[in-house]
Chain A
Amino acid sequence: MSGRQEYTVTSGKVVDLKAQLLKQGLAVESAQVPAGPVLYLEVLADDWGRVARVAVDLELRWSAVWGEHHSPQLLVTSLIAGCDGHILLRTMVSENQSRLPSQTPYFPAANRPERHLQDMFGVQFVDHPDGRRWIRHQGWAEGEFPLRKDFPVAGNPAAETPPDCSYTFEPVTGEGVYEVPVGPVHAGIIEPGHFRFQAIGEDMLYLEEHLGYVHKGIEKLAEGRDLAGLARLAGRISGDSSVGHCWAACQAAERALGVEVPARALYLRAIMAERERIANHIGDIGAICNDVGFTFALVQGSKIRERWQRNNATVFGHRLLMDRIIPGGVCCDIDPSYMPTLRAEIIEVRAEVEELMPMLLEYPSLQDRLRTTGILSPPYPPYDTLEVEVPAYIDGDVAKRTRVRGDEILISLTLLENLLENLPAGELMVDCHNTGAECDGVGLIEGWRGEIVAYLRLDADGKVLRYFPRDPSWLNWPALEELIHNNIVPDFPVCNKSVNGSYSGQDL
């Protein structure tokens, strides 16, 4: 597509962060490094906020935080990204004296993830700008922390969990200001969540999201599972990102155990990941347009998507490609007789998208504002040997966000051709043997929404001690609250759809 206005994402390097933190005495190196392409440092609890300040000064990106309960300690790990890769920072607080400086003052992205940690582990972030609970509604009592090891998976629930009426929303007052509560049950075929709008006339002043309605206890349920069970669970964190989450979890496990996945399996994983990306992008392009009443695009988008998913079922055995990735490899192969179909399909979809996108981009109602995002992680196999173009635009509006999806479809189609062309022969999987010792690893997969992070700690028997999946939606949802300012209430659906956060992926 012509006329692309390139947007270069500036970012510092994590090696510089490591050097600075060591120089300033804010962190120390450790012999016990989690497996994965990540740097690793240990930090004193008192310095937890200071290290974030150094990171933000270096223009690094905050990616995730998670906890672990090793009684009587709570481990807290942050993942920070730069243009050269990732660094893990880990600190430790006592379970009884669990006060920790917050990183949110430096990285707003840490806001909800830290509150998740507060609700699930009882870590108290002392200078957090928002002390409200986040993931906990009324499902368990204040002072109970489901991810502590002494909390039973069954919990102690009431026969009937009351609705969460006591959550306080930021009040907006003034003459003519009114409030619209929306959800958790929405009008369409969509996941549940609550939105609170404050508006004057048609103009939206403020939007606040209240999520956590589909919290299913995924992190707790993972504990004690074997790797096959973990992969099944990971594939159901967010059904639209089944391949991405499953791959990230398996990648974390394979790194932790030092398992080398066969080249053919890696290629098949990548083929399925690109198919997942294209299915969601094409479906969403149609759905975004439909939210401003342009049904033509919805019909066209769902047409391509349906044919695509039927081929998923024919070639790979599942319309959404669930449970195709297993620890150590994949459990499906492409029958050679399907190769011509797959190649023809790419050519057909490319022609469709190249025809459709210019039509859609001429449609004026898509010009709502959206904040610019878009940073790509360093590549992992097999992408390390493939050229991947990353489209990004300066304008952060819905139209440009839709256009990025269109661009990515075309790039992804080329990748698919490349992957099919060079699909190596060989094994589809290897056994994931226990190492006989506790181990941990980090998985990082570029899903269609963005970077998916999986942290995994296994015990000596290869059973899950701790699994934390970080869906990109954790970082995308807050953007919706920002980009909605100065829009009119009727544009909320299209703004929301253009971000398309996963409720299930963030509620866990």
Chain B
Amino acid sequence: MLSILNKIRRTGHLTEAVEADEQVVKLGKACQREIAVSFGGSLAIRMVDAGSCNGCELEMHAVNNSFYDIERYGIHFVASPRHADMLLVTGVVSRHMQAALKRTYAAVPAPKLVVAMGDCAANGGEFGVSYASCGAVENVIPVDAVIPGCPPTPLQLLQGILTLLQKKP
């Protein structure tokens, strides 16, 4: 146990180190201001993988690590769509996920935002429309913003969320 406590002490605050990374902080703080105005300081995101290769999920995990720590700006991921302000959808929508995505969308209380993350969700990417895939997310549910990239980097993800928040009337 002592060794663990020691390791924690020596690791220190990684998040502070990134304060030097102006981009993350600038984007994060800008998000925080928008979230304060429109969402009472807290933006709850429910993610749905509708047919991704899991690359986007890896980067979504990354924005939660100590370096980006987007929760400090009021952005957090929730387990239930009923608790969510925003759906963050990855992948093309596979035919086998079409009903599940629509049901998840229906379960998010209005007003709701939908973000299509990654090239697949934005425009079909490498998979497009086929017997197995409905293609882009907007072919299945209304989309408010797209974040291109394969996969989008954590910074692109943050930038995409900010752009949408600033666009919101």
Contacts and interface: CB of A to CB of B under 8 A. Distances in A.
Co-complex (A, B): yes
Interface of A: 137-140, 146, 151-157, 160-164, 184-185, 187-192, 212-218, 220-221, 232-233, 236-240, 242, 283, 296, 299-300, 302-303, 305-306, 309, 313, 319-320, 322, 355-356, 358-359, 502-504, 507
Contacts of B37: none
B142 to A, nearest CB: 15
A185 B100 contact: yes
Interface in B67-88: 67, 77, 79-81
Given A221-B128, A236-B55, A242-B55, 6 more contacts: A157-B95, A164-B96, A213-B100, A214-B51, A216-B92, A216-B130
A379 B14 CA distance: 40
B57 interface: yes
Nearest to B95: A139
Contacts of B54: 191, 238-240, 502-504
B131 A302 contact: no
* Top 5 A-B residue pairs of the complex, sorted by shortest distance between their CB atoms: A155-B131, A239-B55, A217-B132, A139-B95, A187-B79
Interface stretch (B1-9, B28-36, B158-166): B1-9
Contacts, number: 177
B51 A296 contact: no
Contacts of A299: 11, 65-66
Nearest to A503: B54
Contacts of B48: 185, 192
Nearest to B54: A239
B153 interface: yes
Given A146-B132, A154-B131, A187-B79, A215 B96 contact: yes
Interface in B125-145: 125-133
B27 interface: no
Nearest to A299: B66
A220 B94 CA distance: 14
Contact of B67 (A156, A239, A306): A306
Q: Which of B53, B55, B64 has the most CB of A within 10 A?
A: B53
B131 A152 contact: yes
B56 interface: yes
B58 interface: yes
A217 B126 CA distance: 11
Contacts of A151: 131
B131 A189 contact: no
B47 interface: yes
Interface of B: 3-4, 7-8, 11, 14, 47-62, 64-67, 77, 79-81, 91-92, 94-100, 102-104, 125-133, 150-151, 153
B96 A214 contact: yes
Contact of B96 (A156, A190, A213): A213
28 contacts: A137-B95, A138-B96, A139-B94, A140-B95, A160-B98, A187-B79, A189-B47, A192-B48, A192-B97, A212-B96, A214-B51, A214-B52, A216-B51, A236-B125, A236-B127, A238-B53, A238-B54, A239-B55, A239-B56, A239-B57, A296-B7, A296-B8, A299-B11, A302-B62, A302-B66, A303-B67, A319-B59, A355-B7
B164 to A, nearest CB: 19
Nearest to B97: A213
Contacts of B129: 154
A137 B59 CA distance: 29
Nearest to B8: A296
A213 B94 contact: yes
A161 B7 CA distance: 51
Contacts of B102: 160
Given A184-B100, A306-B65, A306-B67, A359 B4 contact: yes
Nearest to B101: A185
Nearest to B59: A319
Q: Which of B59, B61, B151 has the most CB of A within 10 A?
A: B61
A160 B58 CA distance: 29
A146 B102 CA distance: 25
B61 A189 contact: yes
Contacts of B56: 239
Contacts of B99: 160-163
A192 B126 CA distance: 19
Contacts of B3: 355, 358-359
B91 A214 contact: yes
A302 B61 contact: yes
B4 A296 contact: yes
Given A239-B53, A303-B65, A188 B132 contact: no
Contacts of A502: 54
Given A154-B130, A303-B11, A303-B14, A189 B57 contact: yes
Contacts of B47: 189
A356 B47 CA distance: 31
A139 B150 contact: no
A240 B55 contact: yes
A476 B148 CA distance: 32
Contacts of B94: 139, 213-216, 507
B125 to A, nearest CB: 8
A309 B155 CA distance: 13
